[in-house]
Structure 1
Amino acid sequence: MQLSRRFLPPMSLLCAFEASARHQSFTAAAAELHLTQSAVSRQIRALEDRLGIDLFVRERQTVRLSPAGQAYAQEIRGALMRISNATLGLRTNPQGGSLNLAILPTFGTRWLAPRLPQFFSAHPGITINLTTRLSQFDFQLEAVDAGIHFGLPHWPGAELAFLMSETVVPACSPAMWAQHQFAQPQDLLRAPLLHLASRPDAWHRWFEHQGQPTNEVPGMLFDQFATAAQAATAGVGVALLPSFLIAQELASGELVRALPQLPEMESAERYYLAWPTSRSAYPPLQAFRAWIQASASSFMEQHVQGPATDAPSSP
């Protein structure tokens, strides 16, 4: 679609508007842009004249965005961020493309990052820029091409590609296991249970899965897997964690399965790659989507195995 220049205000006016909208102040915007307050005020008025709409409500010595200004500010901020990221990507990788990818912290650091050299080897011209997001976001307001999603296959305004499932296991330090000698699910209630903010009902579902539902699940709340895993390693409590994300700790003995005789529970949620429909044909995204789906499929084939049956050794 050809762009109409009559709908493209000068960049100087848009930058002045974005800064003023963010600060809710012409004076603060002027300081950021190294302009005078009167210069910023003139630029905002010039933009309003072009649009035929008041973007700010002026009250005595203060300004605030009008309803129309609030909506316009969101769109303009996202557009300017995309221009900035595109420019940065071109400067850092002039021979290829760049992919702005939102990742879940632990999945990104423990599963994705160690495999990225394989992707770069196959696609040397593509740069991946990583940013952390713990929950869904609006692709229209973020300068992100795709994101890793854990949950149900639903993300408003986005397309999804399945990556992998997961199983979770109660894990604790060897010392905590030796202290409590857990033998059945209800025994875990004698120890603090570590909860994840993103999965507040995970322990309830686990106890229901074991045929022993309970309303009392005392413990501590964590916002990330890595912190919960570290707390479990330190002996703070028992954490319900994806087994593939704590494989290193289980292999080294820093963590042990609290009830190794029980099968791991498969989570109802899954991992997906999500992206806005407008980016579906973007070549770096197409290359990354094909690679990560193949990598995830290979990983699942290699790591499908039965539950451990040996109890941890007492120290």
Structure 2
Amino acid sequence: MHSLPPLTALSAFFVACHAGSYTAAAKELYITHGAVSRHIQVVEKWFGVNLFIKQGQRRVPTPYALTLARELGGALDTLSDIALRYGNGGRNNVFNVSVPTTLSLKWLLPRLDDFYGRYPQANLQISSANTEQLHIIGHYDLLIRREPSMTEYSAIPFLQDTHCLMASPDLLARYSIKTVEDIVACPRIETLTRPGHWNQWLEAAGVKKTPVNGSRRYDHFHVSLHAMLEGIGIGLGPVNTLSAEIVRGNLVPLFPDIRIAPCHYHALTPVGVQKTLLHQAFEDWLVTQGCA
């Protein structure tokens, strides 16, 4: 084992850096100003540098200390996560799941009452991930992703989906859409992170006409979805993911036989991780919900 400064002293140093002073750190940690000072002295002695300088009546972190605190933060987060998941012999029953934003909001959350009804003692911690964050692994017990591209994870497929054209009742009240050619007169919603979907659909539908109305472009699909629900335009959406909105009548599939961009969602678990009973139950529940 490498020699390490005491964890209590490191924690006090980290808080003092973020709080900006010994006094603020003492209030946050519920200890005395002197105790914070002694912890900082331990860390300074271990690293061999002065980490705080006097500024007026208080001591503030040096640029070196702030850089050290940033790197230390990741290590402390990892320790905190391990302690949370493995503390008390794992009896805390916390299960951390990372889910793409739209799937979390529109597919997973509407169904979670069913899971809690079956496992009332479960404590799920759901973190949503947008397109730029999908590659971030983090410290999760399970990740839900479209494709099992990460080889260090075991994958369980649970949901297949395809995209079709959709519109809100409000938009359909303003535009008459009887044939696929009528689409060219409607405002179209596009998502920058899902390029090519509209061209795929127009080709599959055999539409040769040039669209008359312009495009409304958004960066992420959950923003595009909100625009669709508000009746701003017609868009392409995943049918199974948005099934709750379709059942409620908030979205109406148009020409549902024309489907594009098939995708598969998988439950990913780090290879070698010993799955808990809650972990296995959640995976089984995902598969059951996906089949339904």
Same fold (TM over 0.5): yes
C-alpha distance in 2 between matches for 1:261 and 1:283: 39
Aligned to 1:80: 80
1:44 corresponds in structure 2 to 40
Task: Compute the displacement of 1:157 (Å).
Answer: 5.5
- 1:304 is matched with which residue? none
Contact 1:56–1:69, Cα closer than 8 Å, also in 2: no
Q: CA deviation at 1:210?
A: 4.2
The answer on 1:239 being equivalent to 2:235 is: yes
* 3-state SS of 1:181 partner: coil
Residue 141 of structure 2: aligned partner: 145
2:8 counterpart letter in structure 1: S
Contact 1:139-1:276 within 8 A present in 2 as well: no
Q: Secondary structure at the match of 1:169?
A: strand
For 2:50 and 2:220, the matched residues in 1 are separated by: 38
Residue aligned with 1:165, SS: strand
Question: Is 1:164 matched with 2:137?
Answer: no
Q: How does 1:294-309 map to 2 (within 5 A)?
A: 294-296=288-290, 298-299=291-292
Structure 1 residues 157-209: Cα deviation after superposition (integer angstroms, max 9, x where no partner): 54433222211111113453354334565643432222345435433443354
Change in 2 beyond 3 A, CA 1:62/1:117:
closer
Indicate which of 232, 237, 246 corresponds to 1:250: 246
CA shift digits 1:12-61 (9 cap, x unpaired):
213213324545665643442245666434313413544x5659586975
From the superposition, tell whether residues 188 and 291 of structure 1 become closer, same or farther in structure 2 (CA, over 3 Å).
same
Task: In structure 2, list runs of 5 or more residues that go unmatched.
Answer: none
Which letter maps to 2:134?
A: Q
Q: For the Cα contact (< 8 Å) 2:187–2:232, is it kept in 1?
A: yes
**Cα drift, residue 79 of structure 1:** 1.3
The answer as to 2:258 corresponding to 1:263 is: yes
Contact 1:18 1:77 in 2 (8 A): no
> Aligned residues: percent identity?
21
For structure 1, the residue ranges without an aligned partner over 5 or more in a row are 300-315
Is 2:285 aligned against 1:291?
yes
Change (3 A) 1:40 1:105: same
Quick check: 2:107–2:244 contact (8 Å CA) kept in 1? no
Matches within 5 A, 1:86-125: 97-120=93-116, 123=119, 125=121
How much does 1:114 deviate?
A: 4.5
TM-aligned CA distance change 1:291 to 1:256, over 3 Å: closer
Q: Is the 8 A contact 1:95 1:125 kept in 2?
A: no
Per-residue deviation at 1:64?
Answer: 2.6
Q: Which residues of 2 match residues 195-234 of structure 1 at below 5 A? A: 195-196=190-191, 198-210=193-205, 218-221=215-218, 223-225=220-222, 228-234=224-230
Q: Work out the number of aligned pairs and report it.
A: 283
Instruction: Label 1:56 to 1:100 Cα distance change in 2 as closer, same or farther (>3 A).
Output: same
**Structure 1 residue 74: Cα displacement:** 1.2
Q: CA deviation at 1:99?
A: 1.0
> Contact conserved, 2:164 with 2:256, CA < 8 A, in 1?
no
- How much does 1:219 deviate? 0.7
The verdict on how the C-alpha distance between 1:285 and 1:47 changes in structure 2, with shifts beyond 3 A counting, is: farther
- Give the conservation status (yes or no) of the 8 Å contact 1:24–1:64: no
Residues 57 and 63 in structure 1, CA contact (< 8 A), matched pair in contact too: yes
TM-score computed with the length of structure 1 as normaliser = 0.68
Q: Hey, what's the Cα distance between the residues in 1 that align with 2:271 and 2:261?
A: 30
